[in-house]
Amino acid sequence: MGKPAEKVEEALILEGWKTLVRKMGIAKATRFLVAFERGEGDTVKEIKRFWRGKSLAEIYRTVKREKITL
């Protein structure tokens, strides 16, 4: 029997994959994951660069708005 945290992670990964496929299509979603798995670049730096200059409240509103539109 798996740990509850493992089940949450599994569900999160599945939801993420379905979202990528719905938004990008299967081919682009697959290409994205392959590039991501290769470890190209520095993910933390990319995330920081993406959200640069945004407050936590702005980030929260953006994520919440995007979640609603999915």
Per-residue pLDDT tens over the stretch 28-56 = 888 888 777 666 567 677 777 878 888 88
CA dihedral angle for residue 24, residue 29, residue 33, residue 36, rounded to 10 degrees: -30
- Global pTM value: 0.45
Using a 10 angstrom Cβ sphere, with 0-12 exposed, 13-18 middle and 19 or more buried, the burial of residue 20 is: middle
Q: Concatenated DSSP letters for 18-68?
A: HHHHHHH-HHHHHHHHHHHHTT-S-HHHHHHHHHTT--HHHHHHHHHHHHH
More confident residue, 19 or 46: 19
pLDDT of residue 52: 87
